[in-house]
Amino acid sequence: MLRLHRDGEIQRSTAFIPYCYYGPNIQMKAQSQKLGHFFVILNVYKEMLKLGELESFLVEPKYGKKKDGCCEPDIYAHFRRTPFFIEVQKTVYSSKQMDEKLDRYCLLYESGVIDKPFPHVLILSDQRYAIDGNYPFKVFQSQSFTEFMSSLRSEPAPSRPSEGGVRIVVK
């Protein structure tokens, strides 16, 4: 890799260890803040591959122009026959910013550009947002995709003790 870098065949970012190498025609700057965001998206991809059937995975698909109020999800994925828009939030958004982001999803929903069923919106962030809106689609929050999938597993029903028995709940 070092030889390819010295020969100008590839670019290198030293902002990460190990270094990040990429092709010479990439439009992004080598020390771009966006690289960390794309690494998180890559980790979501790897999590999804481990957890089940991933039919499609698109990074930052465009459904219109952002300046026109259209949403730009970080990921569109079709996972286990279910469509998802996934927002990867590395920075903390204000409640107003998150409401505006979800309102853009409502506009996309109402536009009819997306076939039914409309994808669920999954927000992956360390920050928990107070999402009060009544949306025509489901909105989920989690710290990671793996944690989200774990939260969907139903808890076993508590067993009822018989007369004089011991109740055991297996988790």
| CB neighbour list of residue 168: distance below 8 Å, 6 or more residues apart | 159
Distance CA 64, CA 112 (A): 12
- Annotated domain spans of the chain: 1-30, 33-152
Task: Name the strand (E) or helix (H) holding 12.
Answer: strand 11-13
Burial of 95 (0-12, 13-18, 19+ CB in 10 A): exposed
Q: Which helix (H) or strand (E) holds 2?
A: helix 2-6
| CATH number for the domain running over 33-152 | 3.40.91.50
Digit-by-digit pLDDT tens for the chain (171 residues) are 889 999 989 888 887 788 888 887 777 776 677 888 988 999 999 999 999 999 999 999 998 877 777 889 999 999 999 999 999 998 889 989 999 999 999 999 998 888 889 999 999 999 999 987 789 999 999 999 999 999 987 655 444 444 444 445 444
